[in-house]
Homo-oligomer: A and B are copies of this chain.
Amino acid sequence: MPDNLPSQENIAFFNGQLLPERDVGISIRDRGFIYGDAVFDATRTFNGQTFKLREHVERLYNSLRYLRIDPGIDPAKMERWSLEVVNHNYPLLPPGQDMWVMQRISRGVESSEPGAESRPTVLIESHAIPFARRASLYRDGIRVVTPSVPRIPPRFVSPRAKTHNYLNLIMGELEVHETDPDAWAVLLDESGNLTEGKGSNIFLVKDGTVATPQGRFVLEGITRSAVLDLASGLSLPVAEEDLDLFDAYTADEAFLTSTSLCICPISSINGARIGDGKVPGPVTNQLMAAFSDMAGMDYVNQYLSHLPS
């Protein structure tokens, strides 16, 4: 780490070097900005330790291959620079906090010159997870609503690549937030099956089986995979399969997963109470405890500690 970096403010990695974050700006002609022609990935820290960083970086490189962007640096370096950013920025957080660290690579600045080869833009940055804003979800459960906008299917642009094109998910979210600003949108697909929210995966529990939509139609969360592994470890049957609103309305339990949420219980879907409405249900509770064990800290408590007293 260069000596000249300010010790009291956040840094970022940008196109080959570490810089004070406030000195980084994206070109107004960067394709990541003008077209969303970019990919990213994000992991979080638990007590300052990154969680499954390698898996996140591997997924990042699959996204890059799909978009045919060559980032110019290899996965090992991407990982190393990410740790540098974390190591510098984490101590700047208030105690009890944790953060995301994100890699973003765009195809570079649009050029109008014939033959001019564009170099990709590479950015690694971190920022705090909004624990306070979400704390009540762990006490009350998430209200999930399925908007009328369906999720873009893989043939148009694959949801398995984590890109800067989020408008489809945002249109769904806007629709839901107008009637219930605190609800979370989970989009259906063309066949009426549950897919994903903006950055989250959904699970249903029915008769003891832990089920989630097929990986082909969503961004396969690293947390999603971890939960499937945890469930198997607890001898719970798991299924990756089509799940529709009939499944949702007749489920015993339901929860969302994401890098930052880990596992968070759902209280209702489209206003239909899940199970008896108490969250978390027993299977969800078991998985949440197992997740905390794996993460090496009680992440639920971390969230709940931010509830206004």
Chain B residues with CB under 8 A of A244: 154-155, 158, 216
Shortest C-beta distance, A45 to chain B (Å), equals: 15
Complex contact B33–A178 (CB within 8 A): no
Contact with B along A140-182 (1 / 0, CB 8 A): 0000011111111111111011011111101100110111100
Which of A29, A132, A160, A170 has the most chain B CB atoms closer than 10 A to its own CB?
A170
Q: Which residue of B lies closest to A128 (CB)?
A: B112
Which of A167, A191, A245 has the most chain B CB atoms closer than 10 A to its own CB?
A167
**Per a CB cutoff under 8 Å, which of B104, B167, B190, B242 touches A37?**
B167
- Given A35-B164, A67-B167, A104-B34, the answer on whether A152 and B154 have CB atoms closer than 8 Å is no
**Per a CB cutoff under 8 Å, which of B112, B114, B188 touches A148?**
B188
Complex contact A150–B145 (CB within 8 A): no
A27, CB-defined interface residue at 8 Å:
yes
A125, CB-defined interface residue at 8 Å:
yes
Chain B residues with CB under 8 A of A242: 216
- Given A27-B25, A164-B33, the answer on whether A153 and B192 have CB atoms closer than 8 Å is yes
Complex contact B151–A156 (CB within 8 A): yes
CA distance A12 to B25 in the complex (A): 15
Which of A36, A37, A154 has the most chain B CB atoms closer than 10 A to its own CB?
A36
CA distance A254 to B210 in the complex (A): 34
Shortest C-beta distance, A135 to chain B (Å), equals: 10
Shortest C-beta distance, A62 to chain B (Å), equals: 5
CA distance A156 to B65 in the complex (A): 24
A265, CB-defined interface residue at 8 Å:
no
A270, CB-defined interface residue at 8 Å:
yes
A52, CB-defined interface residue at 8 Å:
no
Complex contact A166–B68 (CB within 8 A): no
Shortest C-beta distance, A99 to chain B (Å), equals: 10
Chain B residues with CB under 8 A of A133: 112-114
Q: Could you list 6 further interchain pairs (A-B, Cβ under 8 angstroms) beyond the known A34-B40, A158-B244? A: A25-B27, A68-B174, A68-B249, A112-B129, A165-B166, A179-B180
19 contacts between A and B (CB under 8 A): A25-B25, A35-B166, A35-B167, A36-B164, A37-B166, A37-B167, A112-B129, A112-B130, A112-B133, A113-B133, A114-B132, A146-B148, A148-B148, A149-B192, A152-B156, A156-B156, A157-B171, A158-B246, A165-B165
Q: Name A's B-contacting residues (CB within 8 A).
A: 12, 21, 24-30, 32-38, 40, 62, 65-68, 104, 112-114, 123, 125, 127-130, 132-133, 145-158, 160-161, 163-168, 170-171, 174-175, 177-180, 183, 188, 190-192, 216, 242, 244-246, 249-250, 270-272
The 10 closest A-B pairs by CB, nearest first: A25-B25, A178-B271, A155-B192, A36-B36, A35-B166, A26-B26, A146-B148, A158-B246, A114-B133, A112-B130
